[in-house]
């Protein structure tokens, strides 16, 4: 299973890229919401939001999911430990969060005053909390 290590490395790189997108996109929403009256600035931020989500976030998410599923198939096809189940629940929530960002992006396009910057500052903490759970489950394996 020498190739397993290569899949794991690809999975970790994909996860890092995905998390970077999940951390930065809500920050762009903060700028978008707090500068809603500056049309030129908002136009630039909208382009950044679109490209970050579509060209980095979506491919990184799918690369993470696919490589993760391949590793589960190769290593845990007959038995899934509790830590892995908890990790998969956290990843499922992260996927839901990912798609919620696209909803927020589209709503901000329609109405730049949709939510205040403070909302997005708080919302930006969700992936951090889920990442903490995921990393603890994978590294510490407490269950």
> Which domain does 109 fall in, by range?
2-139
pLDDT tens string, the chain, 143 residues long: the values are 689 999 999 999 999 999 999 999 999 999 999 999 999 999 999 999 999 999 999 999 999 999 999 999 999 988 999 999 999 999 999 999 999 999 999 999 999 888 999 999 999 999 999 999 999 999 999 98
Contact 123, 97 (CB under 8 A): no
d(Cα 118, Cα 73) in Å, to the nearest integer? Answer: 41
Contact 64, 18 (CB under 8 A): yes
How far, in Å, are 14, 18, 23 from residue 63 at the CA level?
A: 6, 9, 18
| pTM recorded for the entire structure | 0.92
The pLDDT assigned to 25 comes to 97
Within 10 Å of residue 79's Cβ, how many Cβ atoms? 7
Number of domains within the chain: 1
The pLDDT assigned to 78 comes to 86
């Amino acid at each position: 299973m020498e190739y397993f290590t290569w899949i794991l490395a690809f999975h970790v790189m994909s996860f890092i890229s995905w998390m970077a997108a999940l951390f930065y996109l809500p920050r762009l929403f903060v700028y978008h919401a707090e500068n809603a009256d500056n049309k030129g600035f908002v136009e630039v931020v909208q382009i950044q939001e679109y490209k970050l989500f579509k060209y980095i976030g979506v491919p990184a998410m799918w690369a993470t999911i696919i490589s993760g599923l391949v590793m589960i198939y190769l290593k845990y096809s007959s038995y899934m430990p509790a830590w892995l189940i908890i990790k998969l629940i956290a990843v499922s929530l992260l996927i839901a969060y990912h798609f919620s960002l696209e909803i927020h992006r589209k709503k901000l396009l329609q109405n730049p005053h949709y939510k205040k910057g403070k909302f997005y500052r708080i919302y930006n903490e969700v992936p951090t909390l889920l990442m903490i759970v995921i990393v603890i489950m994978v590294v510490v394996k407490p269950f």
